[in-house]
């Protein structure tokens, strides 16, 4: 049963160093691979956000360096965000699951990452619709999913604009720079296999971070490795601390995706409506309680939610889609623009500031339940 597998996944996702799963047979449900792709993409999004924001951005502020030549023993630096993903993808290739991960672009710095064939066609459709693309690639006969890779910070855009080999020099924040592409041979998997694929991705992320720490150990003046982060000073978290933070950010969404696969598919692939209307009836959530945050969007966008400086959620909302989470106030919601956005908390609408609908160049932060706000 799906519930049985979900219970096993709950143990794996939330408990540090879980014991082996019971050896006794477990009844298996099946999950569409597109749902698994969506789970993996959310995990990957959370890992990339954690690496980019807490290690690279904060690390630079305390003297750590990050460079595309980080593998060179003479370079005292770690991998840039795209190279951290590549390291994760290489680790996935070493697993027995035939799960592929690829970051491609129509304007790549590395020509090996250029989209071609069917992938180029589906990338164009992704940019037009804002929705994830699912298809069977005829060149490989693999189930394939493409998710938009968005420039979420000025650092993302400027790094590409300033690179000598970049064929495009005018990237902007919130622009779709490429796509994260996942590949797998089967259209459906058992719930047990879904757990194994999540485990394989997390293990690959751990190994990528561990490789960075191995490089850090060779620095002339290495930072302290332990429980502290760069935001605390010249420090880096250990593998266990890094992975616990990743689990805290992503485990709830991953578990809910397994419990309700069809909702995940709808959320990730909902087409853009023909006119700017509220989300389709199928996307309307059930009645919310007093501590549920609901974010609806008529266009594809990315959202993050923080409380007291800690990231609670990093999610991608498809055009016409919705994101929900349960959390205590106060919250700060970061959005890639507010055009077509509706926010509710506890069933009450949250005021959204008016901006120029044509200006998507800057992200917008909205405070929910700050002390100076009154709940009507």
DSSP string, 216-231: HTTSSSPPEEES--GG
Strand 142-150 with 133-137, pairing? antiparallel
Question: Are the C-beta atoms of 305 and 313 separated by less than 8 Å?
Answer: yes
**What are the angstrom distances between the C-alpha of 160 and each of 17, 88, 149, 180, 299?**
38, 21, 13, 17, 25
Running DSSP on this structure, what letter comes out for residue 76? -
pLDDT in tens, 24-83: 444 468 899 999 999 999 999 999 999 999 999 999 999 999 999 999 999 999 999 999
- CA torsion through residues 309, 310, 316, 319, sign: negative
Asked if pLDDT for residue 354 goes beyond 90, the answer is no
Q: Which of 78, 55, 53, 67 is nearest to 216 (CA)?
A: 78
Asked if pLDDT for residue 360 goes beyond 60, the answer is no
Asked if pLDDT for residue 222 goes beyond 90, the answer is yes
**What are the angstrom distances between the C-alpha of 80 and each of 53, 70, 136, 202, 317?**
12, 8, 31, 19, 25
Confidence bin at 23 (pLDDT 50/70/90): very low
Of 158 and 98, more confident: 98
Q: Which of 41, 28, 66, 37 is nearest to 230 (CA)?
A: 66
The mean pLDDT of the chain is 79
Sequence-distant (≥ 6) Cβ neighbours of residue 63 within 8 angstroms: 234
Average pLDDT over residues 204-211: 98
Element (H, E) at 177: strand 176-184
Q: Give the integer Cα–Cα distance in Å for 90 and 84.
A: 10
CB atoms within 10 A of CB 344: 17
List the domains of the chain with CATH numbers.
2-258 (no CATH), 272-368 (2.60.60)
Q: How many residues does the chain have?
A: 376
pLDDT in tens, 255-287: 776 766 554 444 444 433 333 333 334 333 334
């Amino acid at each position: 049963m799906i519930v049985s597998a979900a219970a096993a996944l709950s143990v794996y996702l939330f408990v540090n160093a879980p014991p082996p799963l019971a050896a006794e047979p477990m009844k298996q449900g099946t999950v569409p691979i597109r749902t698994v792709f969506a789970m993996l993409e959310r995990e990957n999004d959370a890992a990339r956000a954690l690496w980019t924001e807490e290690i690279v951005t904060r690390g630079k502020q305390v003297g750590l360096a990050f460079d595309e030549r980080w593998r060179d023993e003479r370079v005292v630096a770690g991998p840039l965000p795209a190279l951290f993903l590549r390291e994760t993808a290489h680790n996935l290739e070493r697993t027995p699951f035939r799960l592929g991960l690829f970051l491609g672009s129509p304007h790549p710095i590395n020509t090996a990452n250029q989209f071609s064939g069917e992938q180029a066609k589906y990338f164009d459709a992704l940019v037009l619709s804002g929705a994830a693309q699912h298809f069977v690639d005829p060149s490989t006969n693999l189930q394939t999913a493409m998710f938009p890779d968005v420039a979420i910070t000025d650092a993302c855009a400027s790094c590409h604009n300033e690179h000598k080999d970049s064929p495009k020099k005018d990237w902007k924040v919130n622009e779709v720079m490429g796509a994260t592409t996942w590949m797998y041979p089967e259209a459906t998997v058992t719930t047990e296999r879904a757990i194994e694929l999540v485990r394989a991705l997390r293990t690959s992320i751990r190994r990528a971070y561990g490789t960075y720490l191995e490089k850090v150990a060779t620095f002339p003046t290495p930072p302290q490795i332990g429980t502290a982060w760069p935001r605390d000073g010249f420090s880096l978290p250990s593998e266990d601390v890094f992975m616990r933070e990743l689990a805290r950010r992503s485990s709830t969404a991953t578990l809910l995706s397994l419990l309700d696969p069809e909702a995940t598919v709808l959320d990730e692939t909902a087409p853009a409506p023909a006119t700017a209307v509220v989300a389709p009836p199928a996307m309307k959530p059930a009645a919310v309680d007093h501590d549920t945050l609901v974010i609806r969007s008529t266009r594809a966008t990315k959202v993050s939610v923080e409380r007291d400086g800690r990231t609670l959620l990093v999610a991608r909302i498809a055009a016409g889609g919705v994101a929900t989470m349960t959390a205590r106030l106060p919250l700060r919601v970061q959005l890639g623009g507010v055009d077509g956005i509706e926010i509710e908390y506890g069933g009450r609408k949250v005021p959204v500031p008016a901006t120029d609908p044509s200006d998507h160049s800057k992200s917008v932060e909205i405070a929910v339940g700050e002390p100076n706000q009154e709940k009507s």
